[in-house]
Amino acid sequence: MIFRQMFEAESSTYTYLFGCTQTGQAILLDPVLETMERDLQVLQALGLHLVYTLETHIHADHVTSTYKLKSVAGSRIAGPAMDQLPCTDFGTMEGQAFRVGTLTFSPLFTPGHTDTHHSYLLSEGDSQRVFTGDALLIDGCGRTDFQNGDAATLYRSIRDKLFSLPDETLIYPAHDYQHRHVSSVAQEKGRNPRLAGKSVKEFQDIMANLNLAYPKKIDYAVPANRQCGECPTELPENMRRLCDPSPQG
């Protein structure tokens, strides 16, 4: 497997590239509109053909590049089936493997940050990596005060789904704001300040008192991402130019 972790600085988003060495097919997980050209250049340099983009959830902090990539690269769009987005070509759900080439992802339903959020478990030999989106971050977790989020639900998702994985499972989040790249189940169980040794009530109290700012892109990012990144009327002009479906953008 070819694997790359790529960073978008404005929203501190990680996009993940997975390539099948046998077929040359590739997946991009949680791609960001502003870094689409970079992602295409990396794919070309690696000799890979993008066949799918994959989303963990409907993002509020950035606009996805999945729609534009479909128009430019001919890739298909995958994301949680629960979102029921007409623009999605394949709906992921827990219990149904998502396969591209020799790569097999096991979707895990991990709501709480949003009500349809999914993480993706990837096994390779004896090692496992789980891509947790915004559900579980390094020493943190996604906020629960928008998009039908719920702290008690997120607590159960993390405890029952993610912390039940083997301790050595590597955790790759959708964001990190302190330039960290990877954690593990053992590390997050042992030291995550919001979760380690915390009851559900303590977790709810922590999440209710984060005092986070209103996400600056949410008012247009969520409508755009419900269209897989197609330009809605609410989008600022500079973003509209980026997500125009023509290859020239």
Which CATH number is 111's domain given?
3.60.15.10
Q: Which residues pair with 15 in a beta bridge?
A: 6
How far is the C-alpha of 88 from the C-alpha of 90, rounded, in Å?
A: 6
* 224, burial (CB in 10 Å: exposed 0-12, middle 13-18, buried 19+): buried
Residue 247 lies in a domain: no
Residue 248: band (very low, low, confident or very high) from pLDDT cuts 50, 70, 90: very low
Residue 249 lies in a domain: no
Sign of CA dihedral 212, 216, 220, 224: negative
Q: Is the pLDDT of residue 247 over 60?
A: no
* 128, burial (CB in 10 Å: exposed 0-12, middle 13-18, buried 19+): middle
Residue 101 lies in a domain: yes
Q: Which of 215, 104, 110 is nearest to 155 (CA)?
A: 110
Q: Which of 54, 37, 66 is nearest to 225 (CA)?
A: 66
* 159, burial (CB in 10 Å: exposed 0-12, middle 13-18, buried 19+): middle
10 token code pair: 């404005």
pTM, to two decimals: 0.95
Mean pLDDT over 191-215 rounds to: 96
Mean pLDDT over 171-186 rounds to: 97
The total number of structural domains in the chain stands at 1
**Summary mean pLDDT of the chain:** 95
Distance, CA of 148 to chain centre? 17
Are 128 and 121 contacting, i.e. CB atoms less than 8 angstroms apart?
A: yes
Domain holding 166, by residue range, is 2-242
For the chain, give the percent of residues with pLDDT over 90.
90
For the chain, give the percent of residues with pLDDT over 70.
98
What is the reported pLDDT for 236? 85
How far is the C-alpha of 192 from the C-alpha of 195, rounded, in Å?
A: 5
Q: Which of 102, 148, 98, 141 is nearest to 125 (CA)?
A: 102
- CA separation, residue 104 to residues 1, 52, 97, 146, 201 (Å): 11, 13, 6, 31, 36
- Tokens 């499972």 correspond to 169
| Region class of 180: left (phi > 0), else alpha (psi between -120 and 50), else beta | beta
Mean pLDDT over 232-243 rounds to: 83
Instruction: Please provide the distance, in angstroms rounded to a whole number, between the alpha carbons at the two ends of the chain.
Output: 31
Mean pLDDT over 106-134 rounds to: 96
Residue 248 lies in a domain: no
CA atoms within 13 A of residue 41's CA, in its CB half-sphere: 5
Residue 34 lies in a domain: yes
Q: Is the pLDDT of residue 187 over 90?
A: yes
